[in-house]
C-alpha cells in the first residue's frame, strides 16, 4: 500500500502564496497526472511531496503517516527530474546504485537490483557508459532506472519527457504506461502537456493559479469540464469558447454571442447573465439548417482529419474538426450545428452550469 | 567559416607577431642571462654571441639559491593549501545556502583587492612584529593566504554555482547527507575548477614581491626577494640580474607550461561545458 494524501496543503514565499488549499487523495497503484500551464504551481506541489520544498501549511501523508518534516530520502519516494540530473562522473550502473550504496546495501545485492532494472529498461549494454555518452532517450531511461532500483513507494516525475523530441516522447509515453503496469507502483506525474495527461493518467488533476481546478478521469475531464479554464486547457484542438449574454424570448432562453449571432440554449437563465458557451471542434458539423453561419477562412488538412476555421462574426473563429473531406472552400459561407448535449455552458464565475435534461 | 590559405597565413603572422611582441621582454632577459656584462649593455644590441654561464656561476656564488627556492615553494604551496581549506567550505556555503547578504559579502571580499597594499603596510607590519611573524615562512603563508582568499572563494563559488541544482537534489533524494554530497559529487564534479583555482593561487603567491620584501629579511625570503637583492647596491648588472630573474621565474614558467591545459580548462569551465 502506498497512498498519498494532501490535506489543505499550501506554500507561500513571504506574502506571496504560490499554492493554496490543495486537497487530494492518491490511491495505491494510481497514475495521477498534475497538469497545468507553466507557473501554475504543479512543480512546486510535486517538490513539496518530494521534500525538496517545505510545506507552509497543511498535512502531507504517505500511507497515512504525516511526513511534512521527514527527510526526502526517508519518505520512500523516487523522483525523475526534467533535466534527468544524472551524476555525470559516474557510470550508468553507479548512477543507478548510488542510493543503495549510501544505504549500505552490499555489492551483490546492488548488482542484482541494477541488472534487474536495466533489463526492464533495456539498458543492459550501457551499464558501463557515462551519461555524456548516452542519447537523450537513454539518459531518460537511466533516470527512471535510478528510481526503480530504489523500490520506492511512490514515483514522482517532473516533466520527464519535455527534453525529448516528438517521436521519442510518444515512444517514452508508451513505455512509461507499460512500466506503470509492470511495476504496479503509485506514480505522480507533472506535465504541461495535456496530451501526456490524457494518454497516461488514471486520473488527471488540473492545476491553475496554485489551486486545483478539477480532478477526474481523462474522459470525465474531457467530457464534463467544471470550469472554462479546464474546458480550454484540455483537448486539442481547443474547445470553441464563445462569450455571450443570455436573453429570454417567449420563455425560451437564447444566447446572444458577442460576435453577433443568436443560438438557443436548453436551460433557464436569468436574462442579462454573462455566459460562455463551449463546443468541442468534433461536435460541430456542417448543416444547412444549423443555427450558426460563417465564412470559411482557413482549412487545415491533417490527412485523416480536417480542421476548418469559420468566422462567425467580428473575427471570432470557430474550429470544426471533420474527416478527410473538406466542408467547402475558403470564402464559402456555411451553416454549422451541434447536438444540444454537446454544448457546455459556463456562468459568469467561469464554472459550468450543467444542462438539465428537458422534460 | 572556411578560411582561404592567404587568410590563414595572415592570421598566423599576426598571431605570432603579437605573441613575440608580448614575450619580447622575457626573451630579451633570457638572452641577456647568457651574455657577458659588456655584451648585455651594448648598443646597438647584440643578438649573436657565444653564450656563457658565468652569470649563473656568479649568482650561485653570491646567494644561496636553493634556500630562496625552497622558501618560495613552501610559502606558495602552503598558502594555496590553506586558502583552499578555508575557501572550499566558504564557497560551498555561499553557493548552496545563500542568504540575502551573500552577494554583498562576495563584493566586499573582492573590494579588499582594490585597496593598495602599501596602505595597510604599517598596521600589518606592526601586527606581524608583535606576533613574531616577521621573517618567518608561516608569516608569509598567512599573508599570502589572506591575499588570495578573495579570489579563491570567488572562483570556487563560480564553479559550485555551475553545478546543476537538480543533481544535488537527486542526491538528497538518494539519501546523501551534505558531507557525502560534497565528497562524492561536488568535489569530483568541480575538480578541474578547484585545480585551476589552486594553480592560480600558486602562481600569484610565487610572483608576489611587495609583502615578501617588506615582511622578510633573510630566513623566509622567497625568490622575488632574491631578484630584488640583485638590483640595488652596486648599480645595475644587467646580465647577472637577468640570470637571477631567469632562475626565479624558471620554475613557475615550467609549472605553468605543464599545467596550462588544466588552467585553461578550469578557467573556461562553465563557458564551454
* B window 161-220, beta carbon within 8 A of A: 164, 166-167, 169-176, 180, 185, 188-189
Task: For residue B173, give the nearest of A79, A86, A89 by CB distance.
Answer: A79
| Dihedral sign (CA B75, B78, B82, B87) | positive
Each residue of A332-349: pLDDT tens digit? Answer: 999 999 988 899 999 999
Taking the Cβ of residue A78 and every Cβ of chain B, the question of whether any pair is shorter than 8 Å is answered with yes
DSSP state of A124: G
- Would the pLDDT of A269 be above 90? no
Identify the H or E element spanning A118. helix A107-120
User: Are residues A146 and B188, on separate chains, in Cβ contact within 8 Å?
Assistant: no
Q: Can you tell me the distance from the alpha carbon of B214 to that of B216, in angstroms, rounded to the nearest whole number?
A: 6
What are the b/e assignments for B213-228, b being 16+ CB within 10 Å?
A: bbbbeeebbbbbbbbb
Contacts of A88 in chain B (CB under 8 A): 167, 189
Tell me how crowded residue A299 is: count the other CB atoms within 10 A of its CB. 17
Domain coverage including residue A111? 4-227
Evaluate whether A306 touches A321 at the Cβ level (below 8 Å): yes
Taking the Cβ of residue A121 and every Cβ of chain B, the question of whether any pair is shorter than 8 Å is answered with no
A301, A302, A307, A308 alpha-carbon torsion, rounded to 10°: 0
Q: Based on the fold, state whether residues A114 and A191 are members of the same structural domain.
A: yes
pLDDT for the residue numbered A359: 45
Lowest mean pLDDT segment, chosen from A249-258, A272-281, B86-95: A249-258
Domain membership flag for residue B1: no
Q: Based on the fold, state whether residues A96 and A241 are members of the same structural domain.
A: no
Contacts of B182 in chain A (CB under 8 A): none
Q: Based on the fold, state whether residues A57 and A132 are members of the same structural domain.
A: yes
Q: Based on the fold, state whether residues A42 and A177 are members of the same structural domain.
A: yes
Last residue of a domain, one of A189, A204, A227: A227
pLDDT for the residue numbered B268: 57
- The CATH number of the domain holding residue B155 is 1.10.3720.10
Evaluate whether A120 touches A182 at the Cβ level (below 8 Å): yes
Band of pLDDT at residue A175, cut at 50, 70 and 90:
confident
The minimum CA-CA distance between B262 and chain A, rounded to whole Å, is 17
- Would the pLDDT of A52 be above 50? yes
User: Are residues B173 and A78, on separate chains, in Cβ contact within 8 Å?
Assistant: yes
Q: Based on the fold, state whether residues A218 and A83 are members of the same structural domain.
A: yes
- Would the pLDDT of A326 be above 50? yes
What's the structural domain count of chain A?
2
The minimum CA-CA distance between B186 and chain A, rounded to whole Å, is 10
Contacts of A52 in chain B (CB under 8 A): 169, 172-173
Task: For residue B175, give the nearest of A82, A83, A102 by CB distance.
Answer: A102
User: Are residues A83 and B185, on separate chains, in Cβ contact within 8 Å?
Assistant: no
User: Are residues B174 and A73, on separate chains, in Cβ contact within 8 Å?
Assistant: yes
pLDDT for the residue numbered A242: 93
pLDDT for the residue numbered B271: 38
Which of the pair, A191 or B250, is modelled with greater confidence?
A191
pLDDT for the residue numbered B273: 34
Instruction: Tell me which residue has cell 507502483.
Output: A185
What's the structural domain count of chain B?
1
CA atoms within 13 A on the CB side of A335: 8
Q: Based on the fold, state whether residues A259 and A129 are members of the same structural domain.
A: no
Average pLDDT rounded to a whole number, residues A245-274: 88
pLDDT for the residue numbered B228: 81
The minimum CA-CA distance between B192 and chain A, rounded to whole Å, is 12
CA atoms within 13 A on the CB side of B202: 19
Domain membership flag for residue A203: yes
Domain membership flag for residue B131: yes
Tell me how crowded residue B18 is: count the other CB atoms within 10 A of its CB. 10
pLDDT for the residue numbered B234: 57
- pLDDT tens for the 273 residues of chain B, in order: 677 888 999 999 999 999 999 999 999 888 888 988 888 887 788 888 888 888 888 888 888 888 989 999 999 999 999 999 999 999 999 998 899 999 999 999 989 888 888 888 999 999 999 999 999 999 999 999 999 999 999 999 999 998 888 899 999 999 999 889 999 999 888 888 898 899 899 999 998 888 988 888 888 888 888 888 777 655 677 888 888 888 888 888 888 888 877 777 666 544 333
Domain coverage including residue B145? 53-272
Each residue of A102-161: pLDDT tens digit? Answer: 999 999 999 999 999 999 888 999 999 999 899 888 999 999 999 999 889 999 999 999
Domain membership flag for residue A359: no
Residue of B nearest to A70 (CA): B173
Residue of A nearest to B175 (CA): A73
Q: Based on the fold, state whether residues A301 and A159 are members of the same structural domain.
A: no
Band of pLDDT at residue A14, cut at 50, 70 and 90:
confident
User: Are residues B174 and A51, on separate chains, in Cβ contact within 8 Å?
Assistant: no
β-bridge mates for residue A62, sequence order:
A4, A65
Interface test with A, best of B165, B167, B175 (most A CBs within 10 A): B175
pLDDT for the residue numbered A308: 94
Angle at A211 between CA A205 and CA A215, to 5 degrees: 25
- The CATH number of the domain holding residue A205 is 3.40.50.300
Question: Beta strands A16-26 and A333-337: pairing type?
Answer: unpaired
Identify the H or E element spanning A31. strand A31-35
Contacts of B166 in chain A (CB under 8 A): 81-83, 85
CB pairs under 8 A between A and B: 53
Amino acid at each position: 500500500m502506498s497512498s498519498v494524501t494532501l490535506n489543505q496543503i499550501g506554500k507561500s514565499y513571504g506574502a506571496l502564496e504560490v499554492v493554496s488549499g490543495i486537497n487530494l487523495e492518491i490511491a495505491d497503484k494510481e497514475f495521477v497526472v498534475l497538469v497545468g500551464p507553466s507557473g501554475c504551481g504543479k512543480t512546486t506541489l510535486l517538490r513539496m511531496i518530494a521534500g525538496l520544498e517545505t510545506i507552509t501549511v497543511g498535512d502531507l501523508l504517505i500511507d497515512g503517516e504525516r511526513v511534512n518534516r521527514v527527510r526526502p530520502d526517508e519518505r520512500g519516494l523516487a523522483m525523475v527530474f526534467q533535466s534527468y540530473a544524472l551524476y555525470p562522473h559516474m557510470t550508468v550502473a553507479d548512477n543507478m546504485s548510488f542510493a543503495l550504496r549510501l544505504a549500505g546495501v552490499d555489492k551483490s545485492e546492488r548488482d542484482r537490483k541494477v541488472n534487474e532494472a536495466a533489463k526492464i529498461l533495456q539498458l543492459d549494454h550501457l551499464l558501463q557508459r557515462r551519461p555524456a555518452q548516452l542519447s537523450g532517450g537513454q539518459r531518460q531511461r537511466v533516470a527512471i532506472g535510478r528510481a526503480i532500483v530504489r523500490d520506492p513507494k511512490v514515483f514522482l516525475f517532473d516533466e520527464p519527457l519535455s527534453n525529448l523530441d516528438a517521436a521519442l516522447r510518444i515512444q517514452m509515453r508508451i513505455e512509461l504506461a507499460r512500466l506503470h503496469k509492470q511495476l504496479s507502483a503509485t506514480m505522480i506525474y507533472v506535465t504541461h502537456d495535456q496530451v501526456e495527461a490524457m494518454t497516461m493518467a488514471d486520473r488527471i488533476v488540473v492545476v491553475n493559479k496554485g489551486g486545483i481546478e478539477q480532478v477526474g478521469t481523462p474522459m470525465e475531464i474531457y467530457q464534463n469540464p467544471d470550469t472554462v479554464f479546464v474546458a480550454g486547457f484540455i483537448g486539442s484542438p481547443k474547445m470553441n469558447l464563445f462569450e455571450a449574454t443570455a436573453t429570454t424570448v417567449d420563455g425560451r432562453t437564447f444566447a446572444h454571442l458577442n460576435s453577433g449571432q443568436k443560438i438557443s440554449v436548453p436551460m433557464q437563465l436569468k436574462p442579462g447573465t454573462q455566459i460562455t458557451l463551449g463546443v468541442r471542434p468534433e461536435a460541430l458539423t456542417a448543416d444547412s439548417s444549423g443555427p450558426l453561419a460563417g465564412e470559411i477562412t482557413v482549412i487545415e488538412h491533417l490527412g485523416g482529419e480536417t480542421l476548418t476555421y469559420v468566422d462567425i462574426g467580428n473575427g471570432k473563429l470557430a474550429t470544426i474538426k471533420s474527416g478527410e473531406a473538406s466542408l467547402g472552400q475558403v470564402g464559402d459561407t456555411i451553416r454549422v450545428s451541434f447536438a444540444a448535449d454537446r454544448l457546455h455552458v459556463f456562468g459568469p464565475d467561469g464554472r459550468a452550469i450543467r444542462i438539465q435534461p428537458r422534460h | 567559416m572556411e578560411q582561404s590559405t592567404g587568410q590563414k597565413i595572415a592570421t598566423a603572422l599576426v598571431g605570432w607577431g603579437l605573441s613575440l611582441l608580448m614575450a619580447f621582454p622575457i626573451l630579451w632577459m633570457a638572452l641577456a642571462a647568457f651574455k657577458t656584462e659588456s655584451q648585455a649593455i651594448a648598443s646597438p644590441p647584440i643578438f649573436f654571441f657565444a653564450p656563457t654561464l658565468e652569470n649563473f656561476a656568479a649568482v650561485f656564488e653570491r646567494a644561496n639559491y636553493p634556500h630562496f627556492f625552497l622558501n618560495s615553494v613552501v610559502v606558495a604551496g602552503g598558502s594555496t593549501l590553506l586558502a583552499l581549506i578555508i575557501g572550499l567550505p566558504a564557497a560551498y556555503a555561499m553557493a548552496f545556502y545563500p542568504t540575502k547578504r551573500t552577494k554583498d559579502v562576495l563584493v566586499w571580499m573582492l573590494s579588499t583587492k582594490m585597496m593598495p597594499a602599501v596602505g595597510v603596510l604599517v598596521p600589518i607590519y606592526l601586527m606581524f612584529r608583535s606576533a613574531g611573524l616577521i621573517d618567518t615562512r608561516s608569516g608569509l603563508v598567512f599573508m599570502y593566504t589572506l591575499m588570495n582568499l578573495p579570489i579563491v572563494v570567488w572562483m570556487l563559488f563560480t564553479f559550485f554555482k555551475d553545478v546543476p541544482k537538480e543533481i544535488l537534489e537527486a542526491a538528497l533524494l538518494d539519501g546523501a547527507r551534505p558531507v557525502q554530497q560534497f565528497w562524492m559529487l561536488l568535489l569530483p564534479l568541480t575538480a578541474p575548477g578547484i585545480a585551476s583555482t589552486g594553480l592560480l593561487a600558486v602562481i600569484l603567491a610565487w610572483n608576489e614581491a611587495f609583502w615578501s620584501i617588506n615582511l622578510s629579511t633573510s630566513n623566509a625570503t622567497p625568490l622575488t626577494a632574491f631578484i630584488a637583492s640583485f638590483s640595488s647596491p652596486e648599480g645595475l648588472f644587467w646580465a647577472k640580474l637577468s640570470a637571477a630573474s631567469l632562475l626565479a621565474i624558471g620554475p613557475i614558467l615550467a609549472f605553468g607550461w605543464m599545467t596550462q591545459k588544466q588552467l585553461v580548462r578550469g578557467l573556461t569551465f562553465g563557458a564551454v561545458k
